[in-house]
Amino acid sequence: MKKRFLSASLAVILTTSAVIPVSMQEVRASNETSSQVEVREERLSAKEFLDLTVTALTFQHGSETMRQEIIDTWVKGAELKDLSGNIKRDEAARILVRALNKEEKEATLAEYQEKANKLGLFNGLSNSETITKQDAVKILNNAKNVKNAVSNKGVKEISVEDFMKNPGSVGYQLSPDGNYITYNSAWKNRSNVYVKKMNDDSEPVRVSSSKDRDIAGAFWKDNNLLYLKDKGGDENFHIYSTKFNGNKEKDLTPYPNVTVRFLSDLQGVKDEILITMNKEDAKVFDVYKLNVKTGKTTQVAKNPGNISSWLADHDGKVRMAVTSDGVEGTILYRDSEKDKFKPFIEMKAGDEVMPLAFSKDNKHIFATSNKGRDKVEVVKYDLKGNEEVIMSNSEVDVIGVLYNPEKDKLLYGGYMTDKVHYQFFDKDFEKLFRKIQNKLGVHESELSINDYNKEMTKFIISVSSDTVYGKYYYYDSTTDEMTEMATLSPWLKPEELAEMHPISYKSRDGLTINGYLTLPKNKEAKNLPLIVNPHGGPWGRDMWGFNPDVQLLANRGYAVLQMNFRSSAGYGKKFLEAGNKQWGLKIQDDITDGVQWAIDQGIANPKRIGIYGASFGGYATLAGITFTPDLYAAAVDYVGVSNIFTLLNTIPPYWETMREMLYERVGHPEKDKELLTAASPVFHVDKIKTPLFVAQGANDPRVNKAESDQIVEALRARGVNVEYMVKDNEGHGFLNEENKIEFYNAMLKFLDSHLKK
């Protein structure tokens, strides 16, 4: 069974206390030969110089924490003890050489000064030992010229097919005994399951035969290999057996309109696992034992109607449950399956407590919780509900932990600021992680330990970054041998792909908005066509890493802006709740403010801005062209919401326990009728004048096809031409390779026709 990263989902700050006359507008103005910047001949302090340099050479303009983290990489140890003192030329040289990633073997300030001189950073300046504010304008302008020095020719065009076709073998796992490796790879243009015997020259064997749909994932139960698949994107996932180990490939849960979820592999119990199904009541999930040989199911726990999730202990006994009306809830506990559940922890509005695993002796429970705090933290409860905080972060939520049942301890936990970072709880595991990291020469944010055997001597490792789709490795710690198993989309060369830059800016009402800016490779970051790409949810978030559609857009010369607007997950309770009932209002303002930020930086051409988003991002796309009709020159709505009333009226039945949460966060169709009417683009089509392309899956259970039909029909009734693509064998987003390729080819053609005139 793949080792799951258990998750609920999902410094001293250097500031300038006085206003500095040299602003970023003045730094930009110094680039224009016709502009004259007049500033007083005041000497800059080290603190002021650092602040200006972060603003000029990075995209971190809103988050003081991220700005400080950057400064900490430029100023190390006891360097610059007195930040209030005047910055000296050689000290500035050291900072700039590091900021420009030009540091090599320099050891002394004189060597940094020499490197800076070679780079031309002090061209046009006097030989004064200290630096004035006027000097800073010239220095930072020189530094920006070095940083942005490109031929402006871009890179060769890469086909849509190369970005969107099956990337190759993915999802590598070890069998429980460590004797086999399994992975997913294409067969007849659909992802299927393959098995390869370890330390053997035999060819991999395909053990599934799905022709209609990619499998969603595979997992082991002892020597049985199983997989999950839905039909046509309806998200009613079933569990199938594979042909491995003499089994027949068949649907083990062949119940129509039923969704199956894995709960426990029941270690030590032969041929049985725990699953949940909404078989008896489409709105809620009961717990069943499933025989993976015969498909026989036996109900273990009945859902009274308000349980949203269950947790089994290490003996496979269902002893915890989470009840919720979507706003408030209770964690329930029982000593045994013979006992009745009793309240364990109460959750008020905004509280999120998610049990993750029992300890090996079943006397403690690991969980994530923001109860009584703003950020989600990792905690441990005893059986009386007493809490011990295991891991926390002052800036962001903890995203999850890796628990090892053999060691009966947490190995590490993760949190995500600009990228994923780890905190370790096991010294041996950290030593192993760092050894692997150094062996591969990657940042910790790029490295994942996907699976390992019981003895923790054999590992499946993956590496991925903003420009590397992914690589899989097999590592044997007993021999210290690392073997590369697969490279995803090897036809995509990292040196031809675009970097994803973490950014931050301030919203109009003072919130810090974090996000990412991807700039086209080998193009000057100036006056570019820009695609704004708001994420779905809205209670999700964008993150740093490889994104095929972002890379496709960047390859075609577009800058791509992604922002984690208010209501995004990961930044704490207050930030998420700041988006309550703000669809089309402050959430949309955060997006608009991000666009204005990109314009103010000189990056985006204000006349060539497009917006493209999926799901809630599709709603934000429609809201953008409805409520800020002059901002966007083209828009692509991908499975997006146009009418909030019909969205709330057609949610999947198994979302019913979340209905009150939707009313709390989005709005109530009766109590907030005026609000939702004002926020639903379909009622304001008279304001829309931006060219629009809409794409929709016919089987979408979340955002029904009617959402797209409504907006298309309303616009066409006004004589507006809307491009509309519907795929009958897709759901909430296109999964089938041929459909993805067709969609992205059409999207590019549409965007280019409106943004590259």
Q: What is the pLDDT of residue 6?
A: 54
Q: What is the pLDDT of residue 136?
A: 93
Average pLDDT over every residue of 340-348: 96
- pLDDT tens for 613-662 read 999 999 999 999 999 999 999 999 999 999 999 999 999 999 998 999 99
- pLDDT tens for 42-69 read 889 999 999 999 999 999 999 999 999 9
- pLDDT tens for 186-241 read 999 999 999 999 888 889 999 999 999 999 999 999 999 999 999 999 999 999 99
Tell me, what CATH number does 502's domain have?
A: 3.40.50.1820
Residue 600's pLDDT band, with cuts at 50, 70 and 90, is very high
The verdict on residue 331 lying in a domain is no
Question: 172 pLDDT exceeds 50?
Answer: yes
Asked if 728 and 696 touch (Cβ cutoff 8 Å), the reply is no
The verdict on residue 437 lying in a domain is no
Q: In a 3-state reduction of DSSP, which class is residue 333?
A: strand
The verdict on residue 720 lying in a domain is yes
Question: How many domains are there within the chain?
Answer: 3
Residue 41's pLDDT band, with cuts at 50, 70 and 90, is low
Mean pLDDT of all residues belonging to the chain? 92
Shared-domain flag, residues 500 and 602: yes
Shared-domain flag, residues 128 and 214: no
Residue 150: count other Cβ atoms within 10 Å of its Cβ: 14
Shared-domain flag, residues 175 and 70: no
Most confident region among 79-88, 544-553, 711-720 by mean pLDDT: 544-553
Residue finishing a domain among 286, 305, 324: 305
Average pLDDT over every residue of 468-476: 97
Shared-domain flag, residues 113 and 181: no
Note the Cα 374 to chain centre separation in Å: 21
Active site residue 732: yes
Question: 98 pLDDT exceeds 90?
Answer: yes
Average pLDDT over every residue of 446-470: 95
Q: What is the pLDDT of residue 7?
A: 52
The verdict on residue 218 lying in a domain is yes
- What are the φ/ψ torsions at residue 715 (nearest 5 degrees)? -75, -40
The verdict on residue 406 lying in a domain is no
Question: 18 pLDDT exceeds 60?
Answer: no
Average pLDDT over every residue of 600-610: 97
Shared-domain flag, residues 558 and 684: yes
Question: 3 pLDDT exceeds 80?
Answer: no
Active site residue 700: yes
CA distance 314 to 408: 11
Shared-domain flag, residues 676 and 554: yes
DSSP state of 708: H
The verdict on residue 330 lying in a domain is no
Shared-domain flag, residues 558 and 705: yes
200 or 493: which carries more pLDDT confidence?
493
CA distance 388 to 550: 41
- Residue 216 domain boundaries: 168-305
Amino acid making up residue 65: T
Tell me, what CATH number does 276's domain have?
A: 2.120.10.30
Residue 8's pLDDT band, with cuts at 50, 70 and 90, is very low
Shared-domain flag, residues 553 and 695: yes
CA angle 132, 138, 142 (to 5 degrees): 135
Residue finishing a domain among 282, 305, 328: 305
Shared-domain flag, residues 92 and 212: no
Question: 712 pLDDT exceeds 50?
Answer: yes
* CA atoms in the 13 A half-sphere facing the CB of 755: 33
Q: State how far the alpha carbon of 498 is from the alpha carbons of 57, 423, 558, 682, in Å.
A: 18, 29, 10, 36
Residue 406's pLDDT band, with cuts at 50, 70 and 90, is confident
477 Rama class: left (phi>0) / alpha (psi -120 to 50) / beta: alpha
The verdict on residue 439 lying in a domain is no
Question: 20 pLDDT exceeds 50?
Answer: no
The residue whose two tokens read 């489409």 is 282
Specify the long-range contacts of residues 233-239, CB closer than 8 Å, at least 24 apart.
233/697, 233/699, 233/700, 233/729, 233/730, 233/731, 233/732, 233/733, 233/735, 234/699, 234/701, 234/731, 235/259, 235/652, 235/701, 235/702, 235/731, 235/732, 236/701, 237/261, 239/275, 239/290, 239/292
The verdict on residue 315 lying in a domain is no
Residue of 191, 615, 680, 708 marked active site:
615
Average pLDDT over every residue of 299-311: 95
Shared-domain flag, residues 67 and 142: yes
Question: 4 pLDDT exceeds 80?
Answer: no
Residue finishing a domain among 87, 118, 147: 147
Question: 36 pLDDT exceeds 90?
Answer: no
